[in-house]
Structure 1
Amino acid sequence: MSSKIAIEVKNVIKKFQVYDRPQNRLKQAIYPRFCTLLGLESRAYYQDFPALNNVSFTIKKGETVGIVGRNGSGKSTILQIICGTLSQTSGTVTTNGRIAALLELGSGFNPEFTGRENVYMNAAILGLSRQEIDGRFSDIEAFADIGDFIDQPVKTYSSGMMVRLAFAVSINVEPEILIVDEALAVGDELFQRKCYSRIEEIKKNGATILFVTHSASTIIELCDRAILMDSGECLGAATPKRIISCYQKLLYAADEKKQYVRSSIVESIKSEKNDSDLKLSTDVEHQEQETGGKVKGKNEKLKEDYCKEYFDPNLKPTSTIAYESNGAKITNPRITTIEGKEVNNLVRGRRYNFQYNVTFDSSIENVRFGMLIKTLSGVELGGAASSTPNNCIEHIDICETKEIKFSFDCQLNPGVYFLNAGVMGHVDRAETYLHRLIDIAMFRVIPEVEILSTGIIDFQCTSEVN
Structure 2
Amino acid sequence: MSYNDNAICIQNISKCYQIYNNPRDRLKQFVVPKFQQLLGRDRTQFYSEFWALQDINFEVKKGESAGIIGRNGSGKSTLLQIITGTLTPTTGQVSTQGRIAALLELGSGFNPEFTGRENIYLNGAVLGLSKKEIDNKFDAIASFADIGSHLDQPVKTYSSGMMVRLAFAVQVQLEPDILIVDEALAVGDALFQKRCFRQIEKLTSNGVTLLFVSHDQESVRTLTNKSVLLDRGKQIKTGLSSEVLLDYRRLLHEEESKFYSSLAEDITLRSQSTTFKEKDELAVEEVTSVTHLNSQQETLRSDKLSFGEGEATIDGVELYNSNGENVNVFNPGEDVRIRVHFSIHTDIDKLNVGIRIRNKEGVKIYSWGTLNQDMFKISKGSKENLYWNKKFLKGSKDYVDLEFNCSLGSNLYEIQASVSHEETPDYFSQRILHWRDEAAFFHVHVIRDEYFFGGLTDLKMIAKW
TMscore range, shorter length: 0.7 to 0.9
Equivalent residue for 2:358, pick from 338, 363, 374 = 374
Residues of 2 paired with 1:452 and 1:336: CA distance?
23
Per-residue Cα deviation, 1:2-54 (whole angstroms, up to 9, x for no partner): 22211111111122222344543333233223323433322212222222221
Matches within 5 A, 1:303-342: 321-342=305-326
How far apart are 1:261 and its partner, in Å? 8.8
Mean Cα deviation higher: 450-459 or 55-64 = 450-459
On the 8 A contact 1:184/1:196 being kept in 2, the answer is: no
Supply the distance in 2 between the matched residues of 1:365 and 1:20 (Cα, whole angstroms).
Answer: 50
- Of 132-141 and 234-243, more deviation after overlay is shown by 234-243
Shift, 1:103, TM fit: 0.4
Query: Cα offset for 1:78?
Result: 1.5
The aligned runs of 1:273-284 (5 Å cut-off) are none
Look up the match of 1:424. Answer: 420
The alpha carbon displacement at 1:85 in A equals 0.8
CA drift of 1:56 comes to 0.9
**1-structure distance, mates of 2:106, 2:419:** 39
Please point out which of 376, 388, 393 is paired with 1:393.
Answer: 388
The alpha-carbon distance between structure 1 residues 414 and 160, as it changes in their structure 2 partners (threshold 3 A), is closer
How far off its partner does 1:82 sit? 0.8
Contact (CA 8 Å) 1:67, 1:213: kept in 2 or not?
yes
For residue 11 of structure 1, what is the aligned residue in structure 2?
Answer: 12
Aligned pairs (5 A) from 1:26-425? 26-253=27-254, 254-255=257-258, 321-388=305-372, 393-394=388-389, 396-399=391-394, 400-425=396-421
Going from structure 1 to structure 2, the CA distance change for 1:42 and 1:133 (only over 3 Å counts) comes to same
Q: Between Structure 1 and Structure 2, which shows a larger proportion of helix residues?
A: 2
2:282 alignment counterpart: none
User: Are the equivalent residues in 1 in contact too, given 2:338–2:403 (CA < 8 A)?
Assistant: yes
1:372 Cα deviation from its structure 2 partner? 1.0
Structure-2 residue corresponding to 1:288: none
Distance 2:349 2:34 in 1: 62
**Percent identical residues:** 40
| Matched letter for residue 421 of structure 1 | A
Checking the alignment, whether the CA contact within 8 Å between 1:426 and 1:432 is kept in structure 2 is yes
CA positional deviation for 1:359: 2.4
Unpaired stretches in structure 2, ≥5 consecutive residues = 262-292, 379-386
Q: Secondary structure at the match of 1:29?
A: helix
- Whole-Å separation in 1 of the counterparts to 2:446 and 2:117: 55
What is the CA–CA distance in structure 2 between the aligned matches of 1:91 and 1:358, rounded to whole Å?
49
C-alpha offsets along residues 139-194 of structure 1, whole Å, 9 cap, x if unaligned? 22222111111111222222222222222222221100111111233422222222
How big is the shift at 1:75? 1.8
TM-score, normalised to structure 2's length? 0.81
How far, CA to CA, are the matches of 2:184 and 2:113 in structure 1?
24
CA apart distance, 1:123: 2.1
**What's the counterpart of residue 456 of structure 1?**
456
**Cα offset, 1:354, TM superposition:** 0.8
Q: Cα deviations across residues 416-451 of structure 1 (Å, max 9, x unaligned)?
A: 111011122157994221111111111122453435
Alpha-carbon contact 1:123-1:173 (below 8 Å) kept: yes
Contact 1:250–1:261 (Cα < 8 Å) also in 2 = no
Shift of 1:386: 1.0
Unaligned 5+ residue runs, structure 1?
A: 269-319
Provide the aligned length of Structure 1 versus Structure 2.
Answer: 412
> How high is the TM-score relative to the length of structure 1?
0.81
Q: Distance in 2 between matches of 1:223 and 1:33?
A: 49
Mapped contact 2:160–2:187 kept (Cα < 8 A): no
CA distance in 1, matches of 2:241, 2:105: 25
**CA–CA distance in structure 2, aligned partners of residues 63 and 252 of structure 1:** 30
Q: Assess, with a 3 A threshold, how the Cα gap between structure 1 residues 22 and 362 changes in structure 2: closer, same or farther.
A: farther
Structure 2 Cα separation of the partners of residues 228 and 126 of structure 1: 30
CA deviations over 1:282-312 (Å, ceiling 9, x no partner):
xxxxxxxxxxxxxxxxxxxxxxxxxxxxxxx
Distance 1:153 1:97 in 2: 31
CA distance in 2, matches of 1:108, 1:86: 14
Residue 89 of structure 1 aligns with an amino acid whose one-letter code is T
Contact 1:364/1:426 (CA < 8 Å) preserved in 2?
no
SS in 2 for 1:229: strand
Q: In structure 2, do the counterparts of structure 1 residues 157 and 446 end up closer, same or farther at CA, with 3 Å as the change threshold?
A: closer
Residues 330 and 169 of structure 1: is their aligned pair in 2 closer, same or farther, counting only changes over 3 Å? Answer: same
SS of 2:3's equivalent in the other structure is coil
**Matches of 2:413 and 2:455 in 1, distance apart?**
14
- Quickly say closer, same or farther: Cα 1:89–1:199, change in 2 above 3 A: same
Q: Secondary structure at the match of 1:141?
A: helix
Q: Which amino acid aligns with 2:367?
A: G
Equivalent position of 2:437 in the other structure: 438
Mean Cα deviation higher: 336-345 or 204-213:
336-345
Q: 1:345 to 1:66 in 2, by over 3 A?
A: same
**What residue identity is the alignment partner of 2:335?**
R
CA contact (8 A) 1:105 1:167 kept: no
Describe the shift of the 1:47–1:203 C-alpha distance in structure 2 as closer, same or farther (beyond 3 A): same
Structure 1 residues 347 and 138, CA gap change in structure 2 (3 angstroms): closer
| Cα-to-partner distance string for 1:311-356 (whole Å, 9 max, x where unaligned) | xxxxxxxxx7111333211113111224432221223211121112
1:360-414 deviations in Å (ceiling 9; x for gaps): 2223353222111111122110021212486562463441443211101111223
> What is the rounded CA distance, in whole Å, between the counterparts of 1:70 and 1:324 in structure 2?
19
CA contact under 8 A between 1:106 and 1:166: conserved in structure 2? yes
**Which secondary structure state, in structure 2, belongs to the residue aligned with residue 45 of structure 1?**
coil
CA spacing shift, 1:449–1:115, aligned 2, 3 Å:
closer
Residue 109 of structure 2: SS of its match in structure 1?
A: coil
Q: How far does the alpha carbon of each residue in 1:171-221 deviate from its partner, in whole angstroms, 9 at most, with x for none?
A: 221100111111233422222222122212211221111111111221222
